[in-house]
Amino acid sequence: MNNPLLTPFDTAPFSKIEDAHFLPAIQQLIKETKAEIDSIATQDDAPTFENTVEALERTGEQLNRVTAIFFNLNSAETNDTIQAIAQEVSPLLSDFKNDLLLNEALFERVKHVYDQRESLTLSPEQSTLLEKQYKGFSRNGANLSEAKKEKLRKIDSDLSRLKLNFGENILKETNIFELHITDEAQLEGLPEGAMEAAAQTAAEKDKKGWVFTLDYPSYIPFMKYAANRKLRKKMAIAFGAKGFHGDALDNKQNVLRIAELRHQRAKLLGYRNHAHFVLEERMAETPQKVQSFLTEFLRKAKPAAEKEFTELQDYAKELDGIETLQKWDGAYYAEKLKQERFDLDDEKLKPYFELKNVINGVFTVAEKLFGLSFEETNTIDVYHSDVKTYKVTDTEGELVALFYADFHPRPGKRGGAWMTSYKSQQIKDGINERPHVSIVCNFTKPTASKPSLLTFNEVTTLFHEFGHALHGMLANTTYSGLSGTNVYWDFVELPSQILENWCYERETLALFATHYKTGEIIPMEYVEKIKESATFHEGMQTLRQLSFGMLDMAWHGNDPSKITDVKAFEKGAFALTKLYPDVPENCMSTSFAHIFQGGYSAGYYSYKWAEVLDADAFDYFKQEGIFNNTVADKFKEFVLSKGGTQDPMDLYVKFRGRKPDPDALLRRAGLIPA
């Protein structure tokens, strides 16, 4: 078989790839990478940084590239075949990783270099790479007995399969559900755009009327605007019950087993629990610090949240006689109250946020801050016709990166938004190899009569993911393993979250927020209202984020072996943050993909942690001017370009001149006086 994944390529050769290419390619590349590793481990020369640590870092480049392509396709354009291949590939990769990390001869060589590190003349980046490699071995079983190593292999193999099953079940649940409406009276309150999109979905499914799904661009407008409370309840319960139906797609056992295996793994490696293992390599350092951080924010946010909730409940009762505010009422009445208070809603704003203009806007922000230019090109291979591609250049016209963007939901694509990389930046043989970076979102699709018009929340999501992309694009490190977003997990959200701040600034909105029909710039009164409404229900939003972080720590900061009832355990974890009555049919854990499928286990707190960093960092921009080049250059030099080459707090202090001030976030959120 002429396999395009086994021949050298620059850009991912999507149009040449068939599903059948992946398994043999990955099997072959694992074999080749093992041979590379064996040649390092068994060489006769004494271990040096160059012949061991650096050589090991350079292994497996083609394997890394092929697996990056495969797993993004499994998220963004999957099918039954790809999912079946993933079930085969994941254990292979898990075994390969363990073969590497449990290779005694290789570890001895790395340890030899590590033990002599004080006498070596290493750059800060080389020192970081050496420490990361040594810890990679020591934290993942290199010092275990053979029997325990075998146990670790089994745990890792099982975990890789369980996480895949978890994600596949959620995607299938999302795709199965639809709310099919044929009576237009049941659509009362819904904006024209939401109705048109639902009619288009129905037509695509060969149905009359309107079809609403659990994809965010369909689900969220329904929950915000649909006057029919029974239908809102039906949608909300369906959304919250993913993986919780007691059927073939049920995730309860997956959740229990994943938590249990992670705990067993941590204990095997000498840690008290999974959170202790994870947080050793985070800015937060310990579960105690995370709990203290979450508890302190809870103390400050809860009074505001309870006050906001009481106000919302009173409003719903006064308006519609709602005696008990339920979860399916929250977004609906909050939107009404917000409109009443600020005379502002998404439907007023959406005409000013045409997707192509918002894209140009985020490009302009990147140009003004970092001197980047973006040119759309049709010469780069893509995996779906929705995907747009761009060449990114600097002020000298030199290539900085290739950028892929995939914006709209479809059946083979999981929900949410994420950034990924098809080729990492590195400096090799004197050549600075530039990265290929992608963002994937699920934004409102164009309809027959309208282009893709974004809600303001979708605008901030685009800026958020683009911030991650900039972290990848502007990487400038020697080693790919320390490049771009390869940083501590609770530092990775700083570049993404700080960029969201520009969305609220008059100076930024004037660059791109123009009416899709008239070309009129967004009225300044709307801009003021956006800023005024930015902290609307901030207490409740903060409590919601804290509840997710606390649920994560409950699963991973304790021994989960005695947990038998996922729902009951979850209710206990949510007790301190509870506002709405519990919905018996719903369970968050069974669809909490961030912690049970993605990489956020014992790390969900990092969103709030990074908000502290981004609020404090943006304060600096505000003081000097949001497009101040001196501040932007420092952010580029010490945050975006350095990747994981130095301790993140050291990098932050170099940028800011001091450690972050937690009160910056509380002031921005309106939880303490400005």
pLDDT digits (tens, 9 = 90+) for 200-251: 999 999 999 999 999 999 999 999 999 999 999 999 999 999 999 999 999 9
Query: Is 520 assigned a catalytic role?
Result: no
**Token pair belonging to 580:** 């709405």
Task: Output the pLDDT for position 176.
Answer: 95
**Is the per-residue pLDDT at 327 higher than 80?**
yes
Nearest 5 degrees, angle CA 456-CA 298-CA 312?
A: 55
The pair of structure tokens assigned to 321 is 């006689």
Tell me the two tokens of residue 319. Answer: 């308006």
Q: Where are the domains of the chain?
A: 4-143, 177-240, 351-534
351-534 to CATH, choices 1.10.540.10, 1.10.3720.10, 3.30.450.40, 1.10.1370.40? 1.10.1370.40
> pLDDT tens digits, residue range 487-519?
998 899 999 999 999 999 999 999 999 999 999
Reduce the secondary structure of 142-192 to three states and give it as a string: CCCCHHHHHHHHHHHHHHHHHHHHHHHHHHHHHHHCCEEECCHHHHCCCCH
> Any alpha helices (H) in 215-286, and if so which ranges?
216-225, 229-240, 252-268, 274-279
Reply yes or no on whether the pLDDT at 1 is more than 70. no
Can you tell me the distance from the alpha carbon of 481 to that of 132, in angstroms, rounded to the nearest whole number? 9
pLDDT, tens digit, 9 for 90 and up, residues 603-629: 999 999 999 999 999 999 999 999 999
State both tokens at 192. 């024209």
Dump pLDDT digits (tens) for 418-444. 999 999 999 999 999 999 999 999 998
Q: Which residue has the tokens 């800026």?
A: 463
The CATH architecture annotation of domain 4-143 reads: Up-down Bundle (1.20)
Using DSSP bridges, classify how beta strands 436-440 and 399-406 pair: parallel, antiparallel or unpaired.
Answer: parallel
pTM for this model (two decimals): 0.89
116 vs 135: CA distance, rounded Å: 15
Q: Which of 54, 465, 570, 611 is catalytic?
A: 465
